[in-house]
Amino acid sequence: MSDLFPKKGHDHDRCVHSALAQAEKVCDRENARFTDMRRKVFTLIWQSHKAVTAYELLDALTAEGQRVQPPTVYRALEFLTELGLVHRIESLNAYFGCDRPDCEHLGQYFICTDCGRVAEAVNEDMSNAVRKAARSVGFTIQATTVEIKGLCHDCATH
């Protein structure tokens, strides 16, 4: 069993640092501007392995001394999601940093209802099952939402 969720006590600064580096690359490739505000929002999202709501981001920015309004946050989120740097978790109205923004994928999200952590999987079995089911009913896929709530291994065993 390979745990998708990060180990407790892992070097989280490294997660953040690596995510920032990837984001830079993607923005560069797409000729998109990774502005201060976008970087701040992106970094805040990566401060945990949980999904973060727009208003939590707003509060965090306010706490940092910025005076920021909802549209500013939503714009940053729109930018980040369109580039695939961040995914929206529909069942939580919240946002989660992608750790493989460099390649297109249909992601699936495991959401622990105990610790609140989220993990993204890119599981071809699931993707293929969805694609096959769509094909069998003549449905043309534009986007998928696969969100699985339950207990992560840590929370189930401790």
Partner DNA sequence: TCAGAAAATGATATATTATAACATTTCATC
Partner DNA sequence: GATGAAATGTTATAATATATCATTTTCTGA
Binding site residue list for Zn(2+): 112, 115, 152, 155
In 3D space, the residue among 118, 105, 99, 94 whose CA is nearest the CA of residue 15 turns out to be: 99
Cβ closest to a copy of itself, residue 15 vs residue 121: 121
Q: Is 65 in the site for DNA (CB under 7 A)?
A: no
The one segment of 25-33, 49-57, 72-80, 124-132 that binds a copy of itself by CB under 8 A = 124-132
Q: Is 13 in the site for DNA (CB under 7 A)?
A: no
Cβ closest to a copy of itself, residue 21 vs residue 133: 133
Which of 41, 80, 110, 120 is close enough to bind a copy of itself by CB under 8 A?
110
Residues in the chain: 158
Cβ closest to a copy of itself, residue 51 vs residue 68: 51
Contact 136, 19 (CB under 8 A): no
> Shortest Cβ distance from residue 149 to DNA (Å)?
15
What string of H, E and C letters represents the secondary structure of 63-102? HCCCCCCHHHHHHHHHHHHHCCCEEEEHHHCEEEECCCCC
Which residues are CB-contacts of 152 (< 8 A; sequence separation ≥ 6)? 3, 5, 110, 112, 114, 115, 117, 119
Contacting residues toward a copy of itself, per CB under 8 A? 1-5, 90-91, 108, 110, 112-113, 119, 121, 123, 125-126, 128-130, 132-134, 136-153, 156
